[in-house]
């Protein structure tokens, strides 16, 4: 008797294989829906970082858009604009890092940290 042959299903078990594929596709679709919900959840969050002892505070959303920038008056020194620029860049970058970390953490719950291409993880 040939390997993989069954009297009921013939060669390869065609019907059973199709059912397995269908079940797998359903699981993948469910996971995609859950991932989209998780992504929406992170995108709706805000992430705030402050630098210079709270002199500069930047807030970004999960879509990596700067939504607020707060400067304390004492940090605005016309003689030292470079310091203010550095503080703003530092605060924005830290807030963006927090948003990235939240998104990666959320997606890793689904991918198990596999580094699946195309997901930006």
Which of 88 and 105 is assigned the larger pLDDT?
A: 88
Listed by start position, the domains of the chain span: 45-75+89-101
| CATH no. of 45-75+89-101 | 3.30.1310.10
Report the distance separating Cα 6 and Cα 20, nearest Å. Answer: 18
Residue 63 banded pLDDT, cuts 50, 70, 90: very high
pTM above 0.75, yes or no: no
Whether residue 23 has pLDDT greater than 50: yes
Residue 115 banded pLDDT, cuts 50, 70, 90: low
- Count how many Cα atoms sit within 13 Å of the Cα of residue 26 in the half-sphere of its side chain: 6
What was the pLDDT predicted at 121?
A: 47
Report the distance separating Cα 100 and Cα 115, nearest Å. Answer: 15
Which of 88 and 28 is assigned the larger pLDDT?
A: 88
What was the pLDDT predicted at 106?
A: 86
Query: Which DSSP category does 119 fall into?
Result: S
Residue from 52, 86, 89, 92 nearest 72 by CA: 52
Q: pLDDT tens for residues 32-46? A: 899 899 899 999 999
β-bridge mates for residue 69, sequence order = 58
């Amino acid at each position: 008797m040939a390997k993989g042959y069954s009297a009921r299903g013939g060669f390869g078990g065609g019907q059973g294989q199709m059912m397995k594929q269908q079940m797998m596709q359903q699981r993948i679709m469910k996971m995609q829906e859950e991932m989209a919900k998780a992504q929406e959840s992170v995108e709706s969050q805000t992430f705030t970082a402050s630098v210079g002892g709270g002199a500069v505070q930047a807030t970004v959303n999960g879509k990596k858009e700067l939504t607020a920038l707060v400067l304390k008056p004492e940090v605005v020194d016309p003689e030292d604009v470079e310091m203010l620029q550095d503080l703003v860049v530092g605060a924005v970058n830290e807030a963006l890092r927090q948003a990235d970390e939240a998104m990666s953490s959320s997606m890793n719950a689904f991918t198990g940290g596999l580094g699946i291409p195309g997901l930006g993880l």
